[in-house]
């Protein structure tokens, strides 16, 4: 029944496509999937890692980088050489590892980091923090919900978004409680060499007002990264009316869900779901390959 349900809603997935022609044909942006919400973005002169520096999680409830991929990232070995910027959306273990981030920054002395305050607090507990602190930009989304930055030739807009809810019952009262209520989750609009990319972290909001606040549609987004929950009807309504990206990547997909969700989006070239780590997709002039 689940598969039938998804297929029935397939027409609702079709985005209102905006093909951009403002960039020269030779410009390209490659997206390499690392794991979960983690990606390497390469626009030629700039390389950005987002939510990719994590691993060694017990269980198979999420995709995670292999030991060999982690070694390449930490040591700045191709394709992870010359990383300009690391972005972290929130503190959860399937998005960042504090020891790995400190090691990465120590090994890659030209890289800067943008992260929410809660992530920085965990980093401060690590040995070696002081040696890399000058390259860490900590954002307090409560005080600064919408921040513009320019770092290492890259313009970044940092925005506060709620983390997806995870409800559990109180053991005494039975009341349902959202244990992610206080998690600081930030999204990013990245401007790099003529491309605009949007990454929403672990936001799964179905409230259009969350996106109306930022007028994201006023920015011509070439590639947008969304949690898998946005595949639903209400999620695609937000995508189409509030963001209108030319291309979409769905993420935060468990190992058992990947093939099903990819099959549902077959035939919609503007939507892509990665199925294996280090898989790369190239985008240029509003077209992907």
Q: What is the pLDDT of residues 133-170, one digit of tens each?
A: 999 999 999 999 999 999 988 999 999 998 766 657 77
E strands in 5-84 = 29-35, 38-42, 47-50
Structure confidence at residue 202 (pLDDT): 93
What tokens does 97 get? Answer: 């590892």
Question: Could you read off the pLDDT of 248-263 as tens digits, one per residue?
Answer: 999 999 888 888 888 8
CA–CA gap between residue 70 and residue 83 (Å, rounded)? 14
CA–CA gap between residue 140 and residue 272 (Å, rounded)? 32
Question: Could you read off the pLDDT of 231-246 as tens digits, one per residue?
Answer: 988 899 999 999 999 9
Structure confidence at residue 10 (pLDDT): 44
Least Cα distance to 137 among 198, 189, 88, 195 occurs for 88
Burial of 130 (0-12, 13-18, 19+ CB in 10 A): exposed
Number of Cβ within 10 Å of residue 220's Cβ equals: 14
Taking CA atoms, 278 is separated from 78, 224, 284, in Å, by: 12, 19, 19
All domains in the chain, ordered by first residue: 29-262 (3.60.15.10)
| Measured CA angle at 16 (ends 15, 20), to 5 deg | 110
Task: Find the range with the poorest average confidence among 21-25, 45-49, 137-141, 172-176.
Answer: 21-25
């Amino acid at each position: 029944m689940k598969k039938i349900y998804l297929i029935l809603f397939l027409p609702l997935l079709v985005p209102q496509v905006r093909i951009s022609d403002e960039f020269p044909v030779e410009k390209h942006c490659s997206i390499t999937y690392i794991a979960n919400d983690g990606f390497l973005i390469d626009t030629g002169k700039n390389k950005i890692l987002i939510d990719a520096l994590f691993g060694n999680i017990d269980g198979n409830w999420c995709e995670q980088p292999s030991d060999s991929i982690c070694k390449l990232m930490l040591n700045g070995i191709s394709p992870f050489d010359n990383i300009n910027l690391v972005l972290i959306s929130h503190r959860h273990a399937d998005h960042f590892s504090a020891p790995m981030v400190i090691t990465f920054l120590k090994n890659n002395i030209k890289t800067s980091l943008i992260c929410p305050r809660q992530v920085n607090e965990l980093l401060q507990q690590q040995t070696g923090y002081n040696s890399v602190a000058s390259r860490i930009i900590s954002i307090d989304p409560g005080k600064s919900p919408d921040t513009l930055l320019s770092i290492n030739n890259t313009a970044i807009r940092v925005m506060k978004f709620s983390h997806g809810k995870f409800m559990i019952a109180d053991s005494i009262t039975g009341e349902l409680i959202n244990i992610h209520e206080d998690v600081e989750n930030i999204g990013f609009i990245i401007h790099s060499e003529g491309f605009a990319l949007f990454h929403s972290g672990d936001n799964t909001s179905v409230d259009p007002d969350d996106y109306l606040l930022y007028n994201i549609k006023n920015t011509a987004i070439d590639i947008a990264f969304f949690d898998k929950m946005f595949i639903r009807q209400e999620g695609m309504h937000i995508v189409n009316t509030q963001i209108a990206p030319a291309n979409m990547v769905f993420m935060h997909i468990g190992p058992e869900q990947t093939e099903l969700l990819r099959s549902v989006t077959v035939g919609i070239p503007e939507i892509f779901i990665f199925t294996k780590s280090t898989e790369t997709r190239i985008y240029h002039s509003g077209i992907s390959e």
